[in-house]
Amino acid sequence: MHMDEDKAMEDERPQVMEYKFKPIGVIRSKYRSKGGVPIQGIFGPDSKGRAEIFEEYEAGLKDIEGFSHIILIYVFHRSEGYELVCRPYMEDKLHGVFAIRAPRRPNPIGFSVVRLEKREGRVLYLSEVDMLDGTPILDIKPFAPRFDHRPGARVGWMEGSFRDKDHRKVSDDRF
């Protein structure tokens, strides 16, 4: 019985165990080192940057300018290794890596909701940027409150952090 259950679990794993992605562009920002960067873009309303999309993907930007915010999915290219339980920037208690937004993760993928100020050809001018200069962009999606907003969502351990008006807003060099 156990054997069958184990086998079933095994079969549910994806058949392809590695995936390759190619960057579609690169982030340009003033941030060259990991410390002193907004922990989330929302803490840096004047934190400017650009997403420079490679020529071959420019046609995919059609109609993006209608959105005030976009979701960028990218590689934390300057992070190395990971711990499954670690201390996030916002407090010193331990949490599981999947319950925090730290850059050191099993798959070092980041996503940021950024404000799209304007588009000039294949360059997107952004604010609310929390990415280092040179960050490789994997994908862009339009931010749509209808899809992405959940009124009343619970925020677990972050609840306390947000109650403290002096909570940390800028990264240190712990990652």
Ligand X SMILES: C[S@@+](CC[C@H](N)C(=O)[O-])C[C@H]1O[C@@H](n2cnc3c(N)ncnc32)[C@H](O)[C@@H]1O
Residues that bind ligand X (CB under 6 A): 34, 37-40, 76-79, 89, 101-103, 110-112, 130-132, 135, 171
The answer to whether the beta carbons of residues 73 and 110 sit under 8 Å apart is yes
Is 33 exposed, middle or buried (CB count within 10 Å of its CB: 0-12, 13-18, 19+)? exposed
Shortest distance (Å) from residue 9 CB to ligand X? 29
The secondary structure of 126-143 as a DSSP string is EES----TTPEEEEEEE-
Shortest distance (Å) from residue 69 CB to ligand X? 13
Is 44 exposed, middle or buried (CB count within 10 Å of its CB: 0-12, 13-18, 19+)? buried
Shortest distance (Å) from residue 123 CB to ligand X? 19
Instruction: Give the span between the Cα atoms of 24 and 44, in whole angstroms.
Output: 25
Q: Residue 41 or residue 61: which is nearer to ligand X going by CB?
A: 41
Q: Residue 89 or residue 115: which is nearer to ligand X going by CB?
A: 89
Q: Residue 101 or residue 167: which is nearer to ligand X going by CB?
A: 101
Q: Residue 61 or residue 132: which is nearer to ligand X going by CB?
A: 132
Shortest distance (Å) from residue 67 CB to ligand X? 17
Instruction: Give the span between the Cα atoms of 115 and 123, in whole angstroms.
Output: 14
